[in-house]
Structure 1
Amino acid sequence: MLKLEQMKEVVLLKKITKSSRDYAQENLEQLYHEFDSSQQGLTSKQAAARLQHFGANTIQKSKKQSQLRQFLKNFTSLMAILLWVSGLVAILTNTLELGIAIWCVNLINGCFSYYQQHEAQKATDSMLAMLPVFTQVYRDGKLQQVNAKEIVPGDVFSVQAGDSIPVDARLLTAATFQVDESALTGESVPESKDVAYEPGEGQFAESNMIYAGTAAVSGGATALVIATGMHTEFGKIAALTHQQKKSISPLQLELNRLTKQLSIIAFSIGIVFFVAALLFVHYAPAKAFIFALGLVVAFIPEGLLPTVTLSLAQGVKRMAKNHALVKELNSIETLGETTVICSDKTGTLTQNQMTINHVWTLEHDYQVSGQGYRVNGQITLAGKKVDFKQANDLGKLLLTATLDNDTKLEINTQDQGKNKLIGTPTEGALCVLVNKAGIEIQKLQKEFPRLKEFPFDSRRKRMTTVHQGNDQKYLVLVKGALSDLLPKCNTVLLNGKTTALGKEQITKINSANKNFAAQGLRSLGFAYKEIPAEKTKAANLKMESAEEQLTFLGLTAMTDPPRPEAYQAVKSCHQAHIKIIMVTGDSPLTAKSIAKKIGITGENPRVVTGDELNKMSDDELKIALSGEIIFARVAPEQKYRIVSTLQKRGEIVASTGDGVNDAPALKKADIGVAMGKMGTDVAKDAADIILTDDNFASIVAAIEEGRAVYSNIQKFLLYILNSNVPEAIPSVLFLFSRGAIPLPLTVMQILTVDLGTDMLPALGLGSERAEPNVMQQPPRTRGAHLLQRSIIWKAFGWYGLVASAISALAYFFVNVQNGWPQKLLAASGPVYKEATTMTLAAIVFCQIAAVMNCRTQKESVFRIGLFSNRQILSGIFFEVILLSVLIYTPILQSAFHTAAIDWQEWLLLVIIPIPLFLIEELRKMLSRKVFKQS
């Protein structure tokens, strides 16, 4: 029997391919027929067949690489492969220990990188977490509690305030029903829903449709399921997010490029020295090959990957202290080179908490201070606090705001940041308003008990409550949209008296409303009237008679206020030459108002709506993106398109957001930044960085860290490459003297510098903090590379040549003390070992000066603190101790061809770094002066 039922359902459900808007416009009878359902829902057999056909109501996860594959990726990058080869070369040059050391460095680095990424990617899987566990569904004519995973198209279910909505559905009944759709639309104000169809403005705006991933905030409803799982609008957005593959990060691309460059340099030098060994020293080909291979290994920076990883890891730790969770290490550096931030508005730049800042009457425009759901603040007029009991117009309006209200505000006396709102944001803002006026809400509710109510609905756009008033009168209180409320008013409260509402007053009221709208504020109208109790009982009062001949009281103007810290964050981004583009699902007026207020744009930005964006060609969009622009009422696919177009223009794009609607853009962007508190799990899953405090300002700190990481990698390159020159010059002397000058530095000693003494100070550079004023510099261009001409010049033409001259002098210094030039230089014996030891030691002490010089590019090291980087100081201490061990330990003397040196030679070595450091400080000072003048 079940098989026949399944075949019937398959044939039936092939027809269910319409869009949400199509289903919204169909009449209910046609809809019931199409889904073979009714107001009583499905039978258990129907549901079972459909569940088998459509599958569970879950969001499929994108396929992730196996843990083994993720682990192996850390050992197969270009640099990692080069290190494997370097280790093999070291072994071929009869230096087994150093070859194994290179491989160990590679293994440690790969394991460390994997551990960091694995820990960061332990984020909870997003899609399933947003769906409720159980839902009230009509099955076999009865309301049953069903696992949300088992809901199918054609089911009828019930939803109440506070419930998450698990599917896309068409409303069958609705009572004062409002839904928070911010996760889909970015709109901070809940949408009123009703059975009657109204198209609304923007996507997901149909009045009689509800969508998966949203939540009911007031009232109740029943609805017919039209889509489940991946067929819901929520699922379609998730699918779009999963389809987007994350591209290789700019840092990884640059490291690959750098590896190729260094490989070409190393192997070119190796070929030159191989030929030179054959021609000048007449080595046998095999011996010349081993000699050249040693120099190739010397020119490969074995510490590059550990330094990069350490720089990124240090950035991760510092960012964690600044409330930013990094899911992938490379994300930090990518953020550092960001040129454009596409920012969501609601919950990102704003608090996602409606706040009233104006109370307007025909007599006064009252100012309201305070932010969000905090109740500190006050109502003022001309800068003075107002007593609402004495101000008749304000008192009546606050009375209406207090009583004509279904929302509760639970005050946390210990921490106002944790005040809890139970109800709609708009009514919550009214609760905060009356608290600021000093009104005791519960006391007033007892004084004027509610007798009857006419709930808000989307057609009337009003809510009315009837209360027991004073002097045997009923008090009728009304609030709602001004356009629907004002026509119901025939009088106005003016100077404490009820006066006829004339054209002049109507014009003034509408003008105030337009002014608020132009500022991006949402207005709410208030009215009241008194009815003698003897005329009719409250229970018999009809809505039509209650909502007519009202007395207009005034307006409240509210907004979702910007985060206080957003102002400085936006300013810092502009100083860093980073463009901010607001991309929101909210209204154009609100978006423009917030963007202007916090300084994202000037006074006249271009505002493009989603409908307008659909009509623009890619070329038109590219041109528009070059100026000040705001995008409002945009759909998820459009956010994705905006990010893609910016990337085509050559921009490095960071996209921020918190909703499901932001996820595709977060995934597509070079760097996705999700909000941790208000953000949906879908957004967090798609993002690279999660801000645990939802603070836009944390992005600025993250950008600074990213820039520091890139700068530190360049500092490392400069430091490592400058030691290559003094390592190569001894071999040049040996070759071009045709062997008359014995090798001042052996291959073992060269590798000792690269993998021993240089390593820890180099890693210390990876933890260097950002230089002052780094956020006043523009982001690096795509054409800028890690290995720049300035680095090559400094490494080879300045630091390297000076260190080469000093190390060569150190070599000859020992020989002079032992009779040269009268005596020929010996290629073996204690004097030769002492001379090579002095050469090695001179290079090490030159490197001490170099690591201090490399800490800054232009700023004085004294400004950032001579001893502020403890890792560098520890590295210097370590390399001196290691050098001493190599010099004075007999067994190591044999392995590394070293010999003991006396105190006079140590004194010379200690002096070496001082002039090198001071000369570089002088050069930086002159460079700063020239830079300022230019």
Structure 2
Amino acid sequence: DDHKLNLSDLFQRYNTDPKTQILVIRNGEKNQINIEDLVVGNIIEVKSGDRIPADIRIIESSDFHVDTSPLTEGMQPQIRSTELTHENPLETKNLAFHSTIAAKGTAKGLVIRAGDFTVAGRLIKLNSNQSTGGTSSTKEISHSIYSITLIGNVSEFRRTNRKVCEIPFNAINKYQLSIHKIHTNNENEEHSQPYLLVMKGPPERILDRCSKIYIDGTDVEMSDYWRSQFNNAYLELGNLGDRVLGFCDLHLSCSEYPYGYSFNVNECNFPINNLRFLGLVATTNPPRVAVSDTIINCRSAGIKVVMVTEDYPFFAKPIARATNIILEGSEIIEDISIYSNISPELVNSSDAKARVTRGYDLAGKSPEELDALIRDYTEIVFVRVDPRQKAMILEGEYDTINKEILRSILYLACQRQSAIVTMIGSNIGDSPALRQADVGIAMGMTSSVVREQVADIIFMDDNFASLLTGIKQGRLMFDNLKKSIAYIMTSSIPKMTLVLICLLTNIPLTWGIASVLCIDVMNIIGAISLAYEKMEADVMKRRPRDLQHDRLVNKR
């Protein structure tokens, strides 16, 4: 079932991705076209890394291998050529199918099926038409759903209280608002208050828009006491690392908003203040287990991981500790400053190695102070970072700073210390940061076309632990390439030196061209073997290399 789901997701995503194009040969000319424009009879070219956009018959190939795991769950790439090797289309080597991946080499193919008529399309259609009885667990869940539906039919409630107006959540408003035409059994109540306005968003922003609070079935005036109760509940939930939303509503009277009233979101001809606060809802989204181990391994490899979030400090700290960005038992400079009632800058840096700094605090820091912050603290979290893409610093009520400005500041501070900066982003607002960084990494499953275009690396599994795999492979490739170059130079430099001596002293060369070629061929074999050496035991215990001194070829 998992394989069917993965195949369906892959097929749907590939066919709806607007940037997916393929090289087609038509009338002797090569052109890039969208895959939905492919028709039977087209000749296409595919190379290593391409997804096969249709079922094709191979008419020309060069060391062409195909990864068929999306269809067959096979682990090893299979060779494809022009040779017909089996009567079964699924077994022969001269056919390649939609959704499989070109793992190696190049090929030209004639399109024989496209779209829903491909093998992958027919499998998906077959799977969607099949119904299964389900496991005992799914049957039990279905029974529970039916029972709950009998108690309260949510879809029916939505239908009878239909939405007539909505302001979607965005980074500027920081709330989501909708207005519903209500239906109740009390006809008088329905006619006196025909519409209900509901709003949700960050609790502190929702509370600021409320003048009343709903307590034990009655509306109570918002007072300092209830604000204090709100803050206590908010902090308690936030310290657990939960995501918290605030909710409020307002019944709109018939005298001002009669039936058929035209609500306009652009003019905002309805109230968005003096609402009634309803309460808080907290959701838990724990980080993946592999994240904390990955960060520990990154730290042992000399890599500093910095967390940047728009959350408040009391939200960010539990997440940072759960992921080992701040180690268990580590003291935080800001906490020490609160206990000691002094400025964080006056706290001795030797007392703690963790900083939880508000983004706007960086705006007034000098380059030297920023360098000291990056250099002296190993565990750093920046909070209250606003994602809005505006070239301005946002100070005041919510103490936030533009995320792009903050990342630019961090990038320059790290660059001054000759560090390689890697940015990992999963939001649309992260695209400029991915472009600016030395290495930009986007999450593939949730990434947009824009992020994929500016990113240097895409994690197709959305797994932060893939970062560790990439670092290992990068260090292994650099080490082996360095060994191969050093090996080749040990023979090339003596030969070149001897030739120069012979030329300068008019001494005849003691060997011919054939001898030189023989030596070079033997050297290449040894160099290739070094390129495939296994990873050294300490490869993830070393600090990152110094770009100024540790090069592929240096004085050593």
Structure-1-length-normalised TM-score: 0.31
Structure with more relative contact order (C-alpha pairs < 8 Å, separation 6 or more):
1
Structure-2-length-normalised TM-score: 0.48
Which is helix-richer, 1 or 2?
1
